[in-house]
Structure 1
Amino acid sequence: MKRIVLFGLVLGLFVMAAPAKKITLFNGKDLSGWKVYGTEKWYVKDGELICESGPDKQYGYLATEQTYKNFDLSVQFKQEANGNSGVFFRSSIEGTKVSGWQVEVAPKDHDTGGVYESYGRGWLEKIPSEKENILKPEEWNTMRIRVEGDHVQTYLNGKPMIDMHDAKIGAADGSIALQIHDGGGIKVRWRKLVLKTL
């Protein structure tokens, strides 16, 4: 009987200590696992995922087919021309109207790493002005987004940007989505989109 109890305890500890599942969201070859919303351009070149404004100059989104509630996501981006974009989480999209939360990816002095709620409350938290110099314009940057329950943390190039709690976010679920802002003239390169489930 003691052996059975001990085995059960060991098995329980093993399950509790099971590592998070690591998922590569972008395969470097095509848009498998993603869905395009809108008429803006999404394509793969030299192993990179590129978003670019199309002739309509409207909002565009590329969203995962799977939903992810609790995760730790790392993504690299490089802005060319106007880099106004973003990474949405726990989002849903109809046409080009998105419900969810965006971690901002934008030109310098425009709150890259801040959290914005589209078609809702707007800015939930902007980054402190002294952190605007962490973004490297026209170079590769690494964004990390950790979302667990109602807790959201963002990091840019290894530096903490936002640490917040929000009940509405905590109750939601949905896809990861990349954005092209409206207005035209936008181009952003993406690579190494890796997510760990929590």
Structure 2
Amino acid sequence: MAVGEPSCRRRKNWKVEDGAIVLRHTEERPAWHDLIYLDEKFENFHLSLDWKAECNSGVFVRAGVPGTPWAYLEIAISGEYKNRKRVPPDQADGALYSLAAPSRDAPSHEGWNNFYIICDGPIISCMLNGIETFRVDFREEKWHKPQGKFKLVYANLPREGWVVLQDHGSKGKFLGFKNIKLKVLASGK
């Protein structure tokens, strides 16, 4: 079930092209931390979307105030196809950014890729092109202590928030999302 018309910050940088939400960085459209996010907040859901990226990007789930997503949960899109060895494992495509590297080799490619993300109570998981990359249960003891790059206690983060598509940007690079489908789950189901 697709969610309605997205609200977004700096919408002028994004456009719809061949059924995809795309951003092409040019002199007129400079790159840097541009976000597009859905109107509603969600707690428990299945999210499927296709993405293609030549630059650093990500999908934030249960994000707080749009514009400050780094304090929340990001499923990473590195966009570093030619420099994959330079990308830290916990920032690779399909990682839970800075928290969980992909548990299996789930190769992404320069064409369109698919994320299937599930947020269900304390459990968050992601599949990249049909292969599970991580499954995290925030009830585990380690999540009750500061973790990752941002030293947050992730067990205490709100379980409801926005779905955010992030552009972290690189001049002259392509970023696109399409086939975005979100199915809301009953609380804890």
TM range (shorter): 0.7 to 0.9
Pair 1:180-2:180 in alignment: no
**Which residue matches 2:108?**
135
| 1:43-82 equivalent positions in 2, closer than 5 A | 43-53=15-25, 55-79=29-53, 82=54
**Which residue matches 1:91?**
63
- The SS at the match of 2:32 is coil
**Which residue matches 1:114?**
95
- The whole-number CA distance in structure 2 between the counterparts of 1:182 and 1:142 is 20
For residue 118 of structure 2, the aligned residue among 133, 136, 146 is: 146
What percent identity do the matched residue pairs reach? 21
* CA displacement at 1:33 relative to structure 2: 2.5
- The whole-number CA distance in structure 2 between the counterparts of 1:40 and 1:183 is 17
1:69-108 deviation per Cα after TM superposition (whole angstroms, max 9, x unaligned): 10111001122xx3311111101235x3324211011224
For residue 124 of structure 1, the aligned residue among 99, 104, 118 is: 99
Letter in 2 for 1:97: T
Contact 1:40–1:60 (Cα < 8 Å) also in 2:
no
Contact 1:40–1:53 (Cα < 8 Å) also in 2:
no
CA RMSD across the alignment:
2.2
**Which residue matches 1:120?**
none
- The SS at the match of 2:105 is helix
* CA displacement at 1:163 relative to structure 2: 0.8
TM-score, structure 1 normalization: 0.71
Bigger radius of gyration: 1
- The whole-number CA distance in structure 1 between the counterparts of 2:46 and 2:123 is 12
What 5-or-longer segments of structure 2 have no aligned partner?
140-153
* CA displacement at 1:149 relative to structure 2: 0.9
- The whole-number CA distance in structure 2 between the counterparts of 1:33 and 1:86 is 20
* CA displacement at 1:66 relative to structure 2: 0.5
**How many residues matched?**
158
TM-score, structure 2 normalization: 0.74
CA, structure 1 residues 70+197, in 2 after alignment: closer, same or farther (shift >3 Å)?
same
Letter in 2 for 1:195: L
Letter in 1 for 2:16: V
Contact 1:90–1:173 (Cα < 8 Å) also in 2:
yes
- The SS at the match of 1:192 is strand
- The SS at the match of 1:69 is coil
Contact 1:88–1:100 (Cα < 8 Å) also in 2:
yes
